[in-house]
Amino acid sequence: MPIVKLRGLFVASLFVASAPTRRMRKRRCLLAAAIIATGMVPAGAADIRLDPSREGAAGAVLEGRIETGDFEKFRTFIFKENTVELYLASPGGNLAEAMKIGALVRSLRLSTMVPGKTLTNQKRNLAIARRGLKDPRANYMCSSACFLVFVAGIHRSSDDFGPPILGIHRPFVPGTDVKTMSANNPTAVEDRTQQLVDNYLRAMDVPAKYAESMFSVPKKKILWIRNDEFKTDLDGFIPRLKAWVKAKCDLLIGKNEPQVSCERQVQDELALRAYGDLLQKRSQP
């Protein structure tokens, strides 16, 4: 399993349960190039904490805007807790930071979940309380840069309260990243940003139409993803794992293991195995 070095940090590059193909290796290289090109800066704003709704293996909640430095905060937290699932309640934020968080999410085979649309205020309040959200008015959604983190999960879902509140729009590159990427050439910034996002979404098994839609929506507007599109394109295990998980669970279901319970068990096992693989690699000379 190749390792990508990010300014002194080692992040396992993308992998899945099976041996990598040439196509997979190409995707990993594209993603590594995208992440390294964006740079790193300190101080963050998102709140990252344990998910109070999770039992057994650890879950985490990332709430609030994703700002520079949140990758470091996220990395420190999940390695301390051995997080297996990430609940995202965020209106977006820093593009580069979101892609770095997403790369680590995929490398560690974490699952991701976003808030669901509720039919009543009572259910909405229950959903908010279950995750202990501090500012639901601003954060009960996953939009903009949050989408980039969400699609990195090897299993992607909305919570039990309804269809996902998941939105996209044209990525915004902060001034500090503009200087790094293009020496203040606006056209170069636009082209480079689109190339990075295209490569990232391709590596994350996201249909090309989402990159096209993203860049067609002005940054001050949001295109909310319809539930039928979500079910078809994004929901559940990523395409490279679906058949493998189905075969594994079909065997267990024959032993009276419920499908949902089996899939949750597989999600946790993949993440915990990824932590072990990474720690073993880091311990080698």
- Evaluate whether residue 128 is within a structural domain: yes
Residue 179 is assigned to a structural domain of this protein = yes
pLDDT in tens, the chain (285 residues): 333 333 333 333 433 333 344 454 444 444 444 443 333 333 448 999 999 998 777 999 999 999 999 999 999 999 999 999 999 999 999 999 999 999 999 999 999 999 999 989 999 999 999 999 999 999 999 999 999 999 999 999 999 899 999 999 998 766 555 455 555 566 677 788 899 999 999 999 999 999 999 999 998 999 999 999 999 999 999 999 999 999 988 887 665 667 788 899 999 999 999 999 988 888 877
User: Which CATH number characterizes residue 177's domain?
Assistant: 3.90.226
SS (H, E, C) 50-73: ECCCCCCCCEEEEECCECCCHHHH
Q: Which of 164, 153, 101 is nearest to 127 (CA)?
A: 164
Strands (E), 3-129: 3-6, 9-12, 47-50, 59-63, 85-89, 111-114
Residue 266 lies in a domain: no
Phi and psi at 54, nearest 5°, equal -85, 140
Prediction pTM value: 0.81
Structure-block tokens of residue 204: 């994350």
Stretch (H or E) spanning 98: helix 95-107
Across 35-47, b (16+ Cβ under 10 Å) vs e yields bebbbbbeebebb
CB 59 within 8 A of CB 86: yes
Q: How far apart are CA 141 and CA 64, in angstroms?
A: 10
Instruction: List the domain range (segments joined by +) for residue 104.
Output: 3-240
The total domain count for the chain is 1
Q: Is the CB of residue 12 less than 8 Å from the CB of residue 279?
A: no
Residue 9: beta bridge partners? 6
Domain for residue 109, yes or no?
A: yes
Assigned domain for 146 exists: yes
Q: Is 74 contained in some domain?
A: yes
Instruction: Collect all residues with Cβ–Cβ distance below 8 Å to 281 and sequence separation of at least 6.
Output: 1, 3, 12
Residue 283 lies in a domain: no
Q: What is the DSSP string of 168-182?
A: E------HHHHHHHH
Has residue 258 been placed in a domain? no
